[in-house]
Amino acid sequence: MRGILATAARHLAYLRPAQRDRYITASDKHHHLGLTGYREALTEITQQNCHACAAYTLMLNVYAWTSFHGSGSFFLPDLDSDSSPNKVELITILRGGNAVMSVAKHWVVVGPLSAVYLPWVNWDKDPNISRLPSVQSLLSRPEDSSPILPHEDDARLERLAALWAAPSSDLPSPPSSHGGAPSGPAALTPEARQVLFEVLFLLRRIFVISVADNGIEAQAATLSWSIIVSDAYIAAVQQRSPAALVLLAHYCILLKRSGERWWIEGKAEELLGKIKRILEASGEGWMQWIEWPMREVGEGRWKGSVSSRSSTVAGTPI
């Protein structure tokens, strides 16, 4: 109930901007009260409490996105803001909701939220998705394989691996404008490169899920990505790693394509605008890698964007 009240108050803040502060205060109060009980329940998930935990996880998705407005996000909190530590903690709490499904999936998928969670069961066995190459084979594509996404989309995503792959890798050429690529692949450890390969793999999968006829809504598919990517990738983004930010910029395409419902409106532009400013300050060569997101999404805040009216985004965790 606290999660519902917190979410409802955020929606009222959006609908009635003149009373925004009042509703945000009420929303935060309900959120903190609900979070206390949620954390306690997560220590011992049972058949009796798992449905409430799963429902609160959905509400927490909404609250997490609504708590960021202006130039911050839980991907890229404003490091000079006093509230940044709390913002970073929010994504940790949000991603911790995976514990519910890891422990109680067999109960949740037959309970009152089955319509929400059941499509995610064996989602990776979907023929359209399983045809994607594994992380290990991402550098080569079988000659007889057909594109899962529109050819241009798939090629653009595949090309991103050139940012960190070894020079001898058989990868498509990077974009040719803006004077060529940054001087070869970024100087990363093998472990860091593996993290990026895995995130690119997941990004390609989410692109496919968002257009597949599998019962999963495009918005839910898109917003699940922030939950299923690794902690190591989230850390790289928050440390302003250019290669990690390039991947995040391409995620903004999915955000934009997810529609213009009130809870997602303007978020893609806001996040991409911040990524652009960071990459511009990182030196020459990086902007070419986000040309596609810039064309599809644009950048910066636009008049009437939800970011200035406490927008929210609801996602469905895998």
What's the predicted TM-score (pTM) here? Answer: 0.75
Is the confidence at residue 64, as pLDDT, over 50? Answer: yes
* Residue 101 · residue 108 · CB < 8 Å: yes
Summarize the confidence of residues 155-181 as an average pLDDT.
63
- What mean pLDDT is reported for the chain? 73
What band does 306 get if pLDDT is binned at 50, 70 and 90? very low
pLDDT value for 249: 93
d(CA 287, CA 278): 10
Q: Distance (Å, rounded) from C-alpha 170 to C-alpha 213?
A: 32
pLDDT at 256 over 70: yes
Provide mean pLDDT across the span 118-132: 56
- Give the residue carrying structure tokens 């806001």: 270
C-alpha 33: how far from chain center: 26
3: its two tokens: 């999660």
Helix, strand or coil for residue 79?
A: coil
Per DSSP, the chain holds a count of helices (H) and strands (E) of 14, 0
Q: What is the mean pLDDT of residues 91-115?
A: 78
Q: Provide the sign of the torsion angle of the four alpha carbons 215, 218, 219, 223, taken in this order.
A: positive
Tell me the average pLDDT across 133-141.
Answer: 38
Give the three-state DSSP class for 28.
Answer: helix
Query: In the block, which residue shows the tokens 């598919």?
Result: 221
- Predicted local confidence at residue 78, as pLDDT: 60
pLDDT in tens, 237-254: 888 899 999 999 999 998
Quick check: 96 pLDDT over 50? yes
Q: What is the pLDDT of residue 312?
A: 31
